[in-house]
Structure 1
Amino acid sequence: MAEIPTATLEDLVVACKRASRQVATLSTDAKNRALRAMADALEAHEAAILEANQRDLDGAAERGLSEAMTDRLTLTPERIARMADALREVASFADPVGEMAETRRRPSGIEVGRMRVPLGVIAMIYEARPNVTSDAAGLCFKAGNAVVLRGGSEAVHSNRAVAAALHEALEGEGGDPAAVTLVPTTDREAIKDLIRMSEHLDLVIPRGGEGLIRFVDEHSRVPVIKHYKGVCHLFVDETADLDVALDLLLDGKLSRPGVCNALETLLVHEAVAADFLPRAHRELAAHDAELRGDAATRRILGESVPEATEADYEAEFLAPIIAVRVVDGLDAALDHVATYGSQHTEVIATESVAAARRWVREVDASVVLVNASSRFSDGGELGLGAEIGISTTKLHAFGPMGLEALTTQKFVVHGAGETRHAVPPRAS
């Protein structure tokens, strides 16, 4: 597989912008063929990708990266297969580009509609996850965009191997490999240079730790889609089926503690706390998970349970740790989420239709779930295919972002010679 070409950063971005014009005009069939070729290339080069990933994992061990970061960095044959399947799934989705919203005839006689169009050139800045290299490339490409990818130093070999496979596929389909541009340097200063290129870039999407996202937001001259962290809550209402609630807790906290849709805080109605908390504590302890509780929780479970601090309720642990608070009702749970939530994902376990409706209506989060695990807050699980990121800001997207969020709309007007004002008489 070819090495990433050496060029200045601006040269690379200019080439990517040039390629974006080609991608924007490709037919749906052409884009789908390229996406399927990319998927095939990932599988064909599995051995090389895994070898490169092992180099990154060896480096991660030397640098003492956290368990959560190492998990995100790790590729396996199964994960590469899922990356390929995600590209094929994106190929199977309806193409949003060119989609026309309902047209309306105005009193002037003109017909006004809105056409969905690509954003242009998107910069992805991310840490650890080499799957983002293919996920972002596939989604941006299907939505008619070109993408500049700047991965972290911890995944440099993996990202290069994945990008090389994607380039091979693009070239094989007659496409411009610059449509998927991987920045060859991991120098953090290069991020500053990249996100100041407002004349070439249309959007920046950072994915990673809160520090990276705040850094990008602070220095960018290009619009930024962001979410700082996922402080996700499960509220066990007094009407909840406690078996269901326990399943939601264990899946949300333990299945992958290091991801942003994992639960970080458990809120329990005081009416069921004495029944539910001992069961929850036993199950969490059996999986070596730590529970930190408020005074009411510690009265039920004993003083051996560590006391939860204000910082614990604000924390995204990304580890098998969960903060717990007993609340006196739905209003208190809503107040807690409003105070400590991160607008990411919030779950209620309840059998009350009224409580569920209030939760859905009043919780300010991009994904709100009733009797379902927080781990469903994922583009693939929500039907978007591979997601490019999650937005907890509300412009221009909110929640997991799929194809449609990578496009915008332009007005299209058809007329039959209508003018807004009277036209002056012609001279002849």
Structure 2
Amino acid sequence: MNGEAPKSLRDALAFIAGYIETPLPPVRMALSAAFGHVLAEDIAASTSLPRFDNAAMDGFAIRSSDIGPDGTAVLRIVQTITAGQIVVPALCPGEAVRITTGAPVPPGADRIVVQEAAEIKGGEVRLRVRDGAKPHIRRVGEDVSRGDTLLEAGSRIGPGQMALLAALGLRSVLVAPRPKVALLSTGDELVDSPGSLAAGQVFDSNRPMLSHMLLAAGAAVTDLGMAHDDPEVILERLVEAAADHDLLISSGGASVGFADHLARVVSRRGFLEFWKLDMRPGKPVGFGDIDDCPILLLPGNPLAAAVGFALLGRAVLARLEGRPLNAGGLRLPVDRPLARSAGRIEVHLGRLRLDSRSRATAVEPLPYGGSASLRHLALADVMIVLEPGEGMIDAGENVDTLPVWQGFPG
């Protein structure tokens, strides 16, 4: 470690931000393959949306000047225009055009009268337009004006972003590549599930949990499996993975004990920049590098591992992708008092619910069953992150929250 190692979460995040100086080099990717990636460029509109005036409803395109003082008009139906039609003749006075939603509005028309307000008799239509009725026309540029900056670098491409980019006609976008993360579980007691257990053995729950948390956060995951508490085996696995990955993550072997080799293993091929933070659960979390590849050391207890990844692992991935650290949290009111510690960050699990009186979203804190508990982790929607402080958090007071399970990538 160089100088004084971080002890608080705030200092650890600041260290990570400085440690990973630049994001991964961007790549240009076909839009069809870019879902879940992070933009590495601002997207400005190359065209207006809509591109042409079009009907917002099925009905009849008319001239408002043809509507009589009583709000009615009897007009001659001259044609039908459907969505996708290329040639659209101009509309003359006394004429009406039957039109479908999304079809181009003919020149001369300035209103669509919905078909429910129309009565057809032969080749004519009688229309009634009530006072204040909408024109039901989507105008050029009503949604997007050419030159507008629509998406900024650092934005994740989700379903809505895909729709917008496709509507602009983009074939490719410049994105951050998915960070390549190698994931390893350590411990003599671990067995892959399903299987049979001997006395003293447990199924490895951390690897499947962390793998899916990584995928949801936008990473490409390599499963390194499990390693026994053998320093040489652990070192060999990690060194091999460090050569072609952007981040290593291990769980287990990070607390104080005779089998906890990871701190010593890291120091043999790199640096352990910090180890143990003032937080509960997840105190025995570490960060450093092996052969210049960053490594995050997470505790073996499942809840502690999940908290460590949510608070630090996502920050590392964000830095690699050029995104703000730990974005996406919300401040929400808790529905019952919570105790906090004066000397450390306290993380509680919570479930979102709708307050019956205010109709606002609130957080119901779940019982703390210890850092090895899985039951409430499976029920939780958010992690409640309480900064150190004196006294209680009162019911109704806003607290910082982070989603337990995040995002759409993967």
User: TM-score, normalised to structure 1's length?
Assistant: 0.28
- Which entry has the higher C-alpha Rg, 1 or 2? 2
- Which structure: greater helix fraction? 1
